[in-house]
């Protein structure tokens, strides 16, 4: 890579390149969508005011040099390398294309995948449609129509490099957007979500973990330990998990409050969605024979439900039980008080509970243990906490020169400082974390004035954004500095909430993980069909 190419990639894949010119047509679909949600007279007035603003679209100031633009173009056309986001750490990885294919092949050769002779997309579309039709008394016509798939896309696989692992393996991701069971899976996810999070072991997030840890008192025999499940999603035993879900749904007294579907119908739909586990890669169709796919809306909830039952069995049958067992999906924080020998016996015990689930263990070193993005420090009989970063952490965040609205960039800084205030348990730790954040933000082009503003105050969400969303119409338009803000201000007069779309990002132009389908396979778009007279 030359200097210009490195400069482009160092900006991060979320960097939005300012376009030389933007067409009014790019705004029209968003504006018309908002108009359709308003009473006719209000819609006409809003359309008129917005169209006046679109008559003169201001030029956008370029945020790449001429050399960087050329480098971006060269990288986008170079098929000898694969540019990808890292699995963790917000890094950009450049892999040789041959090496990438070899690593993908290693994943497929694990015995968990079968090559199919035929694309099952049409078959799954019919199965979903027929199943919904069979149970149509539980769905309105409009809702059933929304869930019934049409012109579905084949899910496709790609890999994200695990740069924190020595051999840099790939994490397989199945992109299921517009696949036959996608919309149905999201509805079922809403039904299942209340089933989890009610156990004593449940950790909601890092902030929840830090709050719980404040009340702990340690003894000399206590040891800080963490357990991690290897490749949880792809190793979840699906039939067993379906059985657990069925039992919980039958016991759930609140189920009728969130769905009209009876348990047998929910289970039938869930089984259908778990069977829709195929994907395309390099022109071949594969089926995943075990576990849940990374990328499926249902994978996290299946993993959580299974792990709650797994830990219940493991802890109930353990001879020596941990003092604390707190879990966030596949990561568990443990305090064990029975010595090193029994700790290893405990690890062997929990690894005997399920043949498909294997946990690895990490113990505290020099009174420190990382858990999630928290560094846990033993200080006599209490725990202190601060922010933890892996050695692969790049310090890369959204570059301030990116063509994003100012509030989005400030939101990055606010979130970093807010996280520090939530996770750092003492003033010294917070002071050190602030220094690190300021250094990272400056290296990403953030002005000191912005840094100081975000450090001093927490982000305050306007009351208008907290109001009931049912009162508002919605509009999504491209972001053009100066113009988009004016259209948003006009929209506010008509109770229109506006979201700015980021477009023309480096990810869109450099990351090539999607199969090259023809334009005729595109969905949710307007087609241009040539006539025999060469007119469109």
pLDDT, tens digit (0-9, with 9 covering 90-100), for 63-105: 999 999 999 999 999 999 999 999 988 899 999 999 999 999 9
**Is residue 439 a part of any domain in this protein?**
yes
Quote the pLDDT of residue 524: 52
**Is residue 420 a part of any domain in this protein?**
yes
- What is the share, in percent, of the chain residues with pLDDT greater than 70? 94
* Strand ranges for 302-404 from DSSP E: 324-328, 331-336, 359-363, 368-371, 374-379, 382-387
Beta carbons within 10 angstroms of residue 231's beta carbon: 17
**Is residue 417 a part of any domain in this protein?**
yes
Alpha helices per DSSP H over 109-237: 121-134, 141-147, 182-192, 206-213, 232-235
**Is residue 452 a part of any domain in this protein?**
yes
**Is residue 162 a part of any domain in this protein?**
no
User: Tokens 């009340």, residue?
Assistant: 215
Alpha helices per DSSP H over 368-426: 406-423
Question: Phi-psi bin for 178: left (phi > 0), alpha (psi -120 to 50), beta?
Answer: left
Quote the pLDDT of residue 59: 83
Alpha helices per DSSP H over 193-282: 206-213, 232-235, 238-251, 255-258, 263-275
Least confident of 79-83, 239-243, 392-396, 401-405: 392-396
**Is residue 416 a part of any domain in this protein?**
yes
**Is residue 41 a part of any domain in this protein?**
no
Query: In the structure, what pLDDT confidence band is assigned to residue 467 with cuts at 50, 70 and 90?
Result: very low
Our count of domains for the chain comes to 1
Quote the pLDDT of residue 23: 85
- For 44-62, the pLDDT digits (tens) are 999 999 999 998 888 888 9
DSSP category for residue 87: S
User: Tokens 């039992």, residue?
Assistant: 247
User: Tokens 């890669």, residue?
Assistant: 281
Q: What is the Cα–Cα distance from 159 to 85, expressed in whole angstroms?
A: 10
Residue 434 belongs to what domain range?
Answer: 406-456
Quote the pLDDT of residue 519: 45
**Is residue 5 a part of any domain in this protein?**
no
Q: How large is the average pLDDT for residues 273-283?
A: 94
Q: What is the Cα–Cα distance from 141 to 147, expressed in whole angstroms?
A: 10
Give backbone dihedrals phi and psi of 40, rounded to 5 degrees, phi first: -55, -45
pTM of the model: 0.88
3-state class of 64 per DSSP? coil
Q: How large is the average pLDDT for residues 168-174?
A: 92
- For 406-422, the pLDDT digits (tens) are 999 999 999 999 999 99
User: Tokens 């586990």, residue?
Assistant: 277
């Amino acid at each position: 890579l030359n200097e210009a190419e490195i400069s482009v990639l160092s900006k991060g894949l979320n960097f939005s390149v300012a376009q030389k010119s933007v067409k009014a047509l790019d705004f029209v679909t968003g504006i018309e969508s908002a108009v359709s949600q308003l009473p006719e007279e209000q819609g006409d007035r809003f359309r008129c005011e917005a169209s006046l603003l679109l008559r003169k679209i201001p030029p956008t100031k370029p945020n790449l040099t001429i050399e960087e633009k050329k480098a971006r173009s060269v990288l986008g056309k170079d098929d000898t390398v694969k540019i990808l986001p890292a699995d963790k750490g917000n890094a950009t990885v450049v892999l040789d294309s041959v090496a990438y294919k070899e690593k993908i092949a290693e994943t497929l050769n694990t015995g968990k995948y079968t090559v199919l002779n035929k694309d099952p997309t049409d078959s799954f579309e019919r199965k979903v449609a027929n199943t919904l039709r069979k149970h149509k008394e539980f769905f309105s016509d409009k809702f059933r129509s929304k869930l019934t798939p049409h012109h579905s896309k084949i899910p496709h696989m790609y890999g994200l490099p695990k740069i924190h692992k020595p051999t840099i393996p790939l994490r397989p991701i199945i992109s299921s957007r517009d696949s036959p069971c996608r919309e149905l899976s999201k509805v079922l996810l809403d039904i299942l979500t209340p089933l989890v999070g009610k156990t004593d072991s449940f950790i909601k997030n890092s902030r929840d973990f830090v709050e719980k840890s404040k009340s702990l008192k340690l003894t000399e025999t206590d040891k800080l330990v963490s357990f991690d499940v290897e490749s949880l999603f792809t190793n979840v035993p699906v039939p067993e998990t379906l059985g657990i879900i069925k039992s919980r749904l039958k016991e759930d007294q609140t189920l009728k409050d969130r769905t009209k579907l009876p348990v047998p119908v929910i289970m039938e739909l869930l089984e259908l969605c778990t069977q829709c586990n195929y994907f395309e890669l390099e022109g071949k169709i594969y089926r995943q024979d075990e576990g849940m796919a990374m990328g499926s809306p249902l994978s996290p909830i299946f993993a959580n439900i299974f792990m709650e039952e797994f830990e219940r069995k493991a802890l109930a049958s353990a001879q020596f039980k941990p003092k604390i067992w707190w879990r966030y999906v596949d990561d568990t924080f443990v305090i064990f008080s029975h010595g090193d020998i029994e700790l290893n016996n405990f690890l062997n015990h929990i690894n005997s509970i399920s043949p498909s689930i294997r946990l690895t263990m990490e113990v505290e070193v020099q009174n420190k243990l990382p858990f999630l993005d928290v560094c846990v420090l033993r200080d006599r009989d209490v725990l202190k906490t601060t922010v933890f970063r892996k050695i692969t952490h790049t310090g890369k965040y959204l570059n301030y020169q990116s063509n994003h609205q100012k509030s989005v960039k400030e939101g990055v800084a606010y979130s970093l400082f807010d996280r520090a205030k939530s996770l750092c348990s003492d003033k010294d730790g917070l002071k050190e974390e602030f220094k690190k954040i300021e250094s990272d933000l400056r290296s990403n082009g953030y002005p000191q004035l912005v840094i100081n503003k975000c450090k001093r105050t927490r982000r305050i969400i306007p009351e208008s954004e907290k109001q009931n969303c049912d009162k508002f119409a919605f509009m999504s338009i491209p972001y053009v500095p100066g113009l988009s803000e004016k259209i948003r201000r006009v929209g506010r007069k008509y109770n229109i909430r506006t979201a700015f779309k980021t477009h023309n990002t480096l990810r869109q132009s450099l990351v090539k993980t999607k199969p090259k389908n023809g334009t005729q396979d595109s969905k949710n778009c307007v087609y241009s069909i040539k006539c025999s007279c060469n007119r469109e």
